[in-house]
Structure 1
Amino acid sequence: MTETTHHRICPLCEACCGLEITVKDGQVAQVRGHAQDPFSQGYICPKAVALKDLHNDPDRLRTPLIKRNGQHVRATWDEAFAEIARRLQALQAEQGRHAVAVAVGNPVAHKYGLMSYFPKLARALGTRNVFSASSLDQVPKQLSCGLMFGHWMSVPLPDISRSQLLIVLGANPLASNGSMWTVPDFKGKARALQARGGRLVVIDPRRTETAAVADAYHAIRPGADVFLLAAMVNTLLAHGWVRLGAVADWVQGVAEVQQAVAAFTPEAVAERCGMTADSIVGLTRELAHTERAALYARMGTCTQSFGTLASWLVDVLNVLTGHLDTPGGVMFAKAPAFASNTQGQSGSGRGIATGRHHARVSGAPEVMGELPITCLAEEIETAGVDQIRALITVATNPVLSAPNGPRLAQALESLDFMVSIDIYLNETTRHADVILPGLSPLQDDHYDLSFAQLSWRNNARYSSPVLPPDERPAEWQILHKLAAIAQGQAPDVDVNALDDAQFAQDTQRLFAGCVRGPARPATPAGGGFAQRPLWGCLWAKARRLDPGQSHGRQRRH
């Protein structure tokens, strides 16, 4: 019997727990938390244990499917890409580029191959109809952070390991282990906070799992978060409790904020919030006078009217109480690499822009280059120029996760063509004409491009595949080939050669200053780097290396 032990990062949720996986004779025998992982320190949740079942699931797709006479049948990869080229290119020529839409789901953020290459597909399609699951629950927070701090991913995070007070509004991190805040074993960290004399306070319409372990719980009426937050800002200013602390030189607009919240006194909002005025003043006092404190709010504040305003007011409160960018308050994670908000010199950012185009039917503005996924059904249903007639979905199931699923399902059935990249035949992909399955998570290597920017502590971890991949394209290759097809290339295009050429162009543009020595020609299909001295400069190319050449599996910063 052959037994091996593998360490990898769980890709199934934002907690990004480190796992220790035992493989016996090529089969996963055990999944448990990796006690030596510097980030999650042995914590594991039931989702990670299910990785074994997901890999072995007979319903997981392993070959492409093409719909023939209303039924999905197995096909080869060559047949699948040929079908896509035949139908997609004809539709683009007849209906125009905006007639093709693309929608992506949460797994894209967990897989660097999808994360790195989806933008190539979106650019190749040339469509303004880009949708994602982010618009359902997190865009208000990212928009407010972009407007306030200059980048969508510059999100202040509670420094929970040094806090004396953590106020949680509209979030349930004991169940989620953080959302827009990667914090595995929140329960253990909350207990540690309480053990050192700190307090956990929860504000939520529902007595959540987090509320059950809190030192204080305040029930609030649904949709009232923005009124509570405005009243807390009002209270700070009225009582002279404002202290800007370390960021005083950076803060602008305090007088304008004071004028904006003047009418929102605790007495004026108490009935709307379902809380007493004294409770609102007391919460504000505790936040203002606790030396190391943080206010954290999440999905509940985003999925309601005034979600962006509520998200902004959370950070206004952290700023005005002196808790921004201070130990024990809210701080910014610094990803070791590939983070747009930490590249370049300080002060050189360009800020954000929104509303560069709008949804055809509702007029909703784009944010982060995306339209609200709640607009997708009406964009398919409503006739006119640039009506959506084709859709590419990438690891998303909006019929199940977005509002009014039955309406969206009916709209998908009316499309002229649909392609899905997914490992399951589900409520959404059953409408697709072609389904392209990616690898099992255990057959893929892993590095968190996104969540290193949202982590409770700075970290850099890479994990190799646990099990050997099947004979099929990697997900980045699937996206790259779709992008090539969208630009009119043949379905048998060599994506490795295409990628080598594009990599050479990108490195020359981005890293010309760090090149040493003569450039080397591109390697044959499937080969390494266009310029040898740039080995390791760009992570996207590391997916082509033998896993044994990847170093620094876990490093602590």
Structure 2
Amino acid sequence: MSETNEPALPVTQKKTLCRICTAQCPIVVDVDAKGRPLAARGDKNNPHSEGFFCLKGKHYPEIHTADSRLRHSLARGHDGALAPIEAERAMDEVAEKLGAIVAEHGRESVAVYMGTLFYQLPQTASVATAWMDALRLRLRFSSGTIDQPGKQTAAAAHGHWLAGSHVFDESDVWMLIGTNPLVAISGGIPHANPARRLKRAQDRGLQLIVIDPRRTETARHAAIHLQPRPGTDPAVLAGLLREILHAGLADEAFVREHVDGLETLREAVEPFTPEVVADRADVDPEALVRAAHVFARAKTGAATAGTGANMSGWSNVTEYLVLCLNTVCGHYRRVGDRVANPGVLTTRRSFRAQAMSPYPVDGFGKPLVSRPDLPPAVCGLPTSALADEILHPESGIKALVTIGGNPMRAWPDPKRTRRALEALDLHVCVEPRLTDTAHLADYVLAPKLPLETPGCSLSTENLFTVSPALGYTERYGQYAPAVAEPPEGSDLREDWQYFYGLAKRMGLSLEVAAGVFPIMGCATPRSALDMENEPSSDEILDLVTKDAWIPLDRLRRDRTKVLFEDEPEVRVEAADENAGRLDVGSALMLDELRDFATGDRFARTGFDYRLISRRMANTFNSVGTDIDALTKRYGTNPAFLHPEDLEALGLSRGDLLSLRSPHGRLEAVAWPDPDLRRGLVSMCHCWGGDSSDGTDARKSGANTGLLISVEEDCARFSGIPLMSGIPVAVSRA
């Protein structure tokens, strides 16, 4: 926060939600008489979070008041420099230029990239999507295809169980693959106070199984921790399935009534004996067998995979085998079971004990010109190919709109990304900071930040549609009023207002959908917006929570009530005439398992280490990397190695080291981590630039994207490249 000499002003305490990450923790913010947020802390009176929050939340006000925050939108002038521009004029110019590009080159000339923060604010996701729909834009790319795209492809090949999975708070066993929720505050253990919830669950008998190359903060609490080589999750999962089937531990009644493909699956996993898995993954075969028995014998539970598993080269088959584990063991709700959290702000619906059959994985239109081998799939267009698509002479992309993301930090191969962004005729960013990406934009539309806007807990509640282990485990919902004012003298709009403004100027009619993510087996309510009289942000929130279990207005009127366990119970109903069958024998997915079984296709001679991804507790992707208090512990994103590896390389903590892959090179700060397997380097992504400015890794961090190829080792369907488990050589810088 910038220092001032002004006298102290009266301070009030206001309750709201932190929206820096998917946890969206309830917080209390100190706000002065001018509406400036001064400090934040967890809301100890909130029965959902019990006062939990993290260091990011503590410094959330600083993100709003930092000198680096944009107070005005920017436009690139004739001199090539970015200069302030009035928000209304910026929308006038952007609408005119986009309209001209579409008129001359067609709708395939405009692409949109939606980063992770796009989904944090329901109003932004709904109105921006409505704008894309109205303009009939096909070229929509998201962070999903460089994060966990296997979830969508696997679900399409497998099908959905419409009664839902068991939630963490009611489970006897829980399996986490390549995810560390005690640090990420997401990814498998309830977002609100995950450490306390894990302890309570273990006190009542829950058995935690973790599969991760690191002895992570979560793995330290595991009853069984399998610590495989990176990129060998398919071997471990196939080995677990083989043992379950050999031991007769499958839920035969459930499989017989609801599942196809068991014999095909049995044949596919048969080669993965404990000894074969031990050789390929370097795990204890006895621990593998024990994990299989613990997971299968539990009455309730679930398995889920995270970013690490998806980035390691085998996202589709890894996520598919996770679903097969849950299905073969029958870890789903049945007729008459109580639904722990049917929902608060998501669309009211039935929970039926039936399957929704598999649906197409790919074939959704024509492929990108630059990647004819990747036909559009259910997970979305391949973001890893977007830079090449912009640069391809036959693609025709002239304009890009970036929302809630930082491609220069997040996309693989930042040097290629820079060339692509510089080649555009028009690049528009909706961004509150002058990020590496915004520096390259033609227009930067500066938004209000969440403490200055109303919101609610819908986005995180809706995450259950992405994975059975995400979302809320209890019937929780909260309205978050705007508690702070925008900076004095600023000219800002809410993110969604820019897209409403563009639509109005372009003569488009908008229709918003309820929810942030679609719910399988449930019709999505839709509402037309008044294009003459701009709705308020609260009115947009009412539309995106239309037909919810509990009207948002109830939460507005009584902000002290956030748990709704006193609502009538919802139980799983019997199947109707539309019941389908789940498939654990998908040829598309099991072909990948056979490919995996042929050997390590990512190994490269002379590159003896493997670089794996990790989360850091005090930053969220690139957010927070410019706040000193959040980076104080390390000052950067170090390259973690086992202490014995550092010693063998002649390196000490704080030394600069060089990492070289077959694709590129970076420098990073060495740091010891005894919880790593030997032979690994572990780094957090979304730091640093493209190295073109020669910045010091000690100050700006290192961008792991420099080591990633978007041409080799890309997954089928999503195109996600090898982003973890990358072969690297390590030496002193």
Checking the alignment, whether the CA contact within 8 Å between 1:111 and 1:448 is kept in structure 2 is no
CA distance in 2, matches of 1:361, 1:70: 30
Paired residue secondary structure (2:500): helix
Q: Does 1:224 align with 2:211?
A: no
Report the counterpart of residue 438 of structure 2 in structure 1. Answer: 429
Q: In structure 2, which of residues 445, 450, 457 is the aligned counterpart of residue 441 of structure 1? A: 450
Q: Percent identity of the aligned residues?
A: 26
Report the counterpart of residue 374 of structure 1 in structure 2. Answer: 384
Report the counterpart of residue 484 of structure 2 in structure 1. Answer: 467
Paired residue secondary structure (1:107): helix
Report the counterpart of residue 200 of structure 1 in structure 2. Answer: 208
Report the counterpart of residue 287 of structure 2 in structure 1. Answer: 279
CA distance in 2, matches of 1:369, 1:259: 28
AA of the residue aligned to 1:550: R
CA distance in 2, matches of 1:473, 1:190: 40
CA distance in 1, matches of 2:141, 2:202: 41
**Equivalence map 1:58-457=2 (5 Å):** 58-68=67-77, 69-150=79-160, 159-179=167-187, 182-243=190-251, 249-325=257-333, 334-339=342-347, 342=349, 352-353=359-360, 354-357=362-365, 358-363=367-372, 364-368=374-378, 370-384=380-394, 386-453=395-462, 454-457=471-474
AA of the residue aligned to 2:261: G
Q: In structure 2, which of residues 25, 32, 54 is the aligned counterpart of residue 45 of structure 1? A: 54
Structure 2 length-normalised TM: 0.65
Checking the alignment, whether the CA contact within 8 Å between 1:17 and 1:39 is kept in structure 2 is no
Paired residue secondary structure (2:222): coil
CA distance in 2, matches of 1:483, 1:369: 27
Paired residue secondary structure (2:111): strand
Q: Deviations over 1:299-342 (max 9, x none)?
A: 12211222121112112112222322379x998853334449x4
AA of the residue aligned to 1:378: D
Checking the alignment, whether the CA contact within 8 Å between 1:21 and 1:32 is kept in structure 2 is yes
RMSD: 3.7
CA distance in 2, matches of 1:146, 1:337: 26
Taking a change above 3 Å as real, the CA distance of residues 537 and 259 of structure 1, as seen in their structure-2 partners, is same
Q: CA deviation at 1:349?
A: 6.9
CA distance in 2, matches of 1:511, 1:266: 49
Taking a change above 3 Å as real, the CA distance of residues 195 and 180 of structure 1, as seen in their structure-2 partners, is closer
Please identify, of 35-44 and 244-253, the stretch whose mean Cα deviation from structure 2 is larger: 244-253
CA distance in 2, matches of 1:555, 1:72: 47
Q: Deviations over 1:91-137 (max 9, x none)?
A: 22222211111001111111011111121122233232211111111
CA distance in 1, matches of 2:555, 2:192: 29
Q: CA deviation at 1:240?
A: 0.9
**Equivalence map 1:27-46=2 (5 Å):** 27-46=36-55
Structure 1 length-normalised TM: 0.84
CA distance in 2, matches of 1:115, 1:522: 18
Q: Deviations over 1:5-54 (max 9, x none)?
A: 22212111121211122223233243111123232221111111121101
Taking a change above 3 Å as real, the CA distance of residues 79 and 549 of structure 1, as seen in their structure-2 partners, is same
Report the counterpart of residue 684 of structure 2 in structure 1. Answer: none
AA of the residue aligned to 1:229: L
Paired residue secondary structure (1:556): coil
CA distance in 1, matches of 2:93, 2:242: 61
Checking the alignment, whether the CA contact within 8 Å between 2:155 and 2:358 is kept in structure 1 is no
AA of the residue aligned to 1:452: E
Paired residue secondary structure (1:189): helix
CA distance in 1, matches of 2:554, 2:12: 15
Checking the alignment, whether the CA contact within 8 Å between 2:163 and 2:332 is kept in structure 1 is no
CA distance in 1, matches of 2:101, 2:302: 52
Taking a change above 3 Å as real, the CA distance of residues 365 and 161 of structure 1, as seen in their structure-2 partners, is same
Please identify, of 474-483 and 370-379, the stretch whose mean Cα deviation from structure 2 is larger: 474-483
Checking the alignment, whether the CA contact within 8 Å between 1:138 and 1:302 is kept in structure 2 is yes
Q: CA deviation at 1:538?
A: 5.6
Taking a change above 3 Å as real, the CA distance of residues 96 and 330 of structure 1, as seen in their structure-2 partners, is farther
CA distance in 2, matches of 1:479, 1:66: 17
Report the counterpart of residue 518 of structure 1 in structure 2. Answer: none
CA distance in 1, matches of 2:302, 2:313: 24
CA distance in 2, matches of 1:52, 1:355: 45
Taking a change above 3 Å as real, the CA distance of residues 541 and 249 of structure 1, as seen in their structure-2 partners, is closer
Q: In structure 2, which of residues 506, 519, 533 is the aligned counterpart of residue 525 of structure 1? A: 533
Taking a change above 3 Å as real, the CA distance of residues 47 and 536 of structure 1, as seen in their structure-2 partners, is closer
Q: Deviations over 1:345-370 (max 9, x none)?
A: 88797975433122221122323473
Please identify, of 121-130 and 410-419, the stretch whose mean Cα deviation from structure 2 is larger: 121-130
Q: In structure 2, which of residues 552, 556, 573 is the aligned counterpart of residue 550 of structure 1? A: 556
Q: Which has the higher helix share?
A: 1
AA of the residue aligned to 2:52: Y
Q: CA deviation at 1:246?
A: 6.5
Report the counterpart of residue 496 of structure 2 in structure 1. Answer: 476
Taking a change above 3 Å as real, the CA distance of residues 98 and 523 of structure 1, as seen in their structure-2 partners, is closer
Taking a change above 3 Å as real, the CA distance of residues 208 and 536 of structure 1, as seen in their structure-2 partners, is closer
CA distance in 1, matches of 2:158, 2:15: 38
Q: CA deviation at 1:536?
A: 5.6
Q: CA deviation at 1:244?
A: 5.1
Report the counterpart of residue 687 of structure 2 in structure 1. Answer: none
Taking a change above 3 Å as real, the CA distance of residues 292 and 366 of structure 1, as seen in their structure-2 partners, is same
Taking a change above 3 Å as real, the CA distance of residues 348 and 480 of structure 1, as seen in their structure-2 partners, is farther
Q: CA deviation at 1:394?
A: 0.6
Please identify, of 305-314 and 177-186, the stretch whose mean Cα deviation from structure 2 is larger: 177-186
Report the counterpart of residue 492 of structure 1 in structure 2. Answer: none
Checking the alignment, whether the CA contact within 8 Å between 2:333 and 2:353 is kept in structure 1 is no
AA of the residue aligned to 1:395: G
Q: CA deviation at 1:197?
A: 3.9
Paired residue secondary structure (1:37): coil
Report the counterpart of residue 599 of structure 2 in structure 1. Answer: none
Checking the alignment, whether the CA contact within 8 Å between 2:49 and 2:192 is kept in structure 1 is yes
Checking the alignment, whether the CA contact within 8 Å between 1:174 and 1:210 is kept in structure 2 is yes
Matched positions, count: 524
CA distance in 2, matches of 1:157, 1:182: 14
Checking the alignment, whether the CA contact within 8 Å between 2:37 and 2:65 is kept in structure 1 is no
Please identify, of 100-109 and 249-258, the stretch whose mean Cα deviation from structure 2 is larger: 249-258
Checking the alignment, whether the CA contact within 8 Å between 2:224 and 2:287 is kept in structure 1 is no
CA distance in 2, matches of 1:264, 1:448: 43
Q: CA deviation at 1:241?
A: 1.2
Taking a change above 3 Å as real, the CA distance of residues 343 and 438 of structure 1, as seen in their structure-2 partners, is farther
Paired residue secondary structure (1:294): strand
Checking the alignment, whether the CA contact within 8 Å between 2:364 and 2:375 is kept in structure 1 is yes
Structure 1, unmatched stretches of 5+, are 490-494, 516-520
Paired residue secondary structure (2:238): helix
Report the counterpart of residue 15 of structure 1 in structure 2. Answer: 23
Paired residue secondary structure (2:304): strand
